[in-house]
Amino acid sequence: MKRLKQIIKDIKDAQEKGTDRSDLLWQLICYPPKMPVRLLQQNLLDEATKFSLSVYDAEFSATELRFNVFKWGSGKHKVLLTHGWGSKAIDFAELITTFRTMPDIEIVAFDAPGNGSSEGDLSNLGLYVQAVNAILRNGFVPKIVIGHSLGAMANTLAIHETGILPSLLISLTPLIRLKENFQFSMDSVGVTKVAQDNFFEKFEQLFKGQASAYNLVDLYHMNAEVKHWIAYDSQDLISPYAYIAEFLARNPAVVAVCYEGVGHDKIFKSPQVINDVVLQINVDT
């Protein structure tokens, strides 16, 4: 978190001086802040079976990155958890603890590349999608897939790419429009429109496509067999309701429930949301 604060300070200083520091924008957008593991979280990690897989980071390091995977239980009802940006597997501690009280459950969660304990400095949606793909193709076939924020977006793309379908997909405050999320981050620290336009031009060159293409309204192609349940907060600034509403209008089979005031980053810790997630799983199982 100290590094992120320094990045933001340096960007603001550069804006005031009129200095071109486009390199700092890549760090603002693609550096996931690291938060320490709390004692209770560490105790839960100590009880997990651990292994690692790898993905190739073509855009930033041009190397294979190892990412860490954690498993609890060995039941037939398999659950995959995909965390959001600047987060980690064990941030789902409340959900994991609750799931472990349920019969016949196997839970897998992971630290995405560049996040938590996994290798990498900068990260991006593509690395999240690759990580989910690697888990699915490593023989873990989940019946229930749960994602938060960017992790929810990654889940839907990975399911489409692999064709490995869960029976239940749960998305907690899913990101819908990636470019607009980038703009929100840059606007919040006073980045000029010219500097933002330059960033998106370089983004297009590096990723061989426009940031606006990463838009679930257009990219969502879920099989009708997959039940999709969304939890959101209508006051969420990171995943605004206008984008959620647009997505739901295009996909009327998706069920969505609003939880006012839970917040983008804490929705998966809300007792009410956790209770409703369990109800969804019980209905499905």
Query: Looking at 17-31, 36-50, 150-164, 223-237, which range is the least confident one?
Result: 17-31
What average pLDDT does this structure show over 237-253?
A: 97
Report pLDDT for 17: 81
Residue 285 scores a pLDDT above 70? no
Q: What is the pLDDT of residues 173-184, one digit of tens each?
A: 999 999 999 999
Residue 222 has pLDDT above 70, yes or no: yes
pLDDT class of 224 with cuts at 50, 70, 90:
confident
pLDDT band at residue 19, thresholds of 50, 70 and 90? Answer: confident
| CA–CA distance, 7 with 179 (Å, rounded to integer) | 20
User: With pLDDT > 70 as the criterion, what percentage of the chain qualifies?
Assistant: 99
pLDDT, tens digit (0-9, with 9 covering 90-100), for 249-265: 999 999 999 999 999 99
Average pLDDT estimate for 70-75: 96
- Computed over every residue of the chain, the mean pLDDT equals 95
Parallel/antiparallel/unpaired status of strands 144-148 and 227-232: unpaired
The whole-number pLDDT of residue 88 equals 98
Q: d(Cα 247, Cα 110) in Å, to the nearest integer? A: 27
Q: What's the pLDDT at 81?
A: 98
- Residues 29 and 21: beta-carbon distance below 8 Å: no
Pairing state between β 168-172 and 77-82: unpaired
Average pLDDT over every residue of 69-98: 97
CA–CA dist 176, 247 (Å, integer): 7
What percentage of the chain has pLDDT greater than the value 90? 92
> d(Cα 96, Cα 193) in Å, to the nearest integer?
42
The DSSP call for residue 48 is: S
Averaged pLDDT, 281-285: 74
Residue 235 has pLDDT above 70, yes or no: yes
Pick 40-177+214-284's CATH classification: 3.30.497.10, 3.40.50.1820, 3.90.1150.10, 2.60.15.10: 3.40.50.1820
Query: Per-residue pLDDT averaged across 90-116, rounded?
Result: 97
Residue 224 backbone phi and psi in degrees, to 5: -65, -20
Binned at pLDDT 50, 70 and 90, residue 1 comes out as confident
Q: Specify the pTM.
A: 0.97
User: Could you give the residue range(s) of every CATH 3.40.50.1820 domain in the chain?
Assistant: 40-177+214-284
